[in-house]
Amino acid sequence: MTRRDAYVCGIDAAIDVVGGKWKVLILWALEGGPCRFGELRRGIPGVTEKVLASHLRELEGDSIIFREEAFEGAVRRVTYALTPLGVSLNEALGPLGAWGREHLLGERSAHHEAL
């Protein structure tokens, strides 16, 4: 998804933010609350650490998520969570998710609650 200089309309721009291969899955995972790096890696089967890290940094750059690094004693604990903007993005993705579930996935995941 090449960062476009000038957007023609809103979805155009939104798709750009959310168009990375694993980004909606990251947003989906963070819906349930903050996650650590390792939790995300395990929670999104197939994503590699490199790609996960770069996606996270892009989402952070777009102010969709924020990163919090803390040390308990000397142990690193990095947590990712949705910003208010990220929460609103997830809400805006709701109808699209419902559409996809209804028309693309068939019935088999129709009982999948969020997004």
d(CA 49, CA 5): 29
With a CB cutoff of 8 Å and minimum separation 6, the contacts of 51 are 21, 22
State which of positions 19-58 bind a second copy (CB under 8 A): 19, 21, 24-25, 28
**76 contributes a contact to DNA by CB under 7 A:** yes
> What Rg, from alpha-carbon coordinates, does the chain have?
15
**Beta carbons of 22 and 63 less than 8 angstroms apart:** no
Determine which residue in the list 38, 68, 76, 105 makes contact with a second copy, applying CB under 8 A.
105
Chain contacts with a second copy (rule: CB under 8 A): 1-2, 7-15, 17-19, 21, 24-25, 28, 85, 88-89, 91-105, 109, 112, 115
Chain contacts with DNA (rule: CB under 7 A): 1-3, 19-22, 36-39, 46-51, 53, 55-57, 67, 69, 73-78
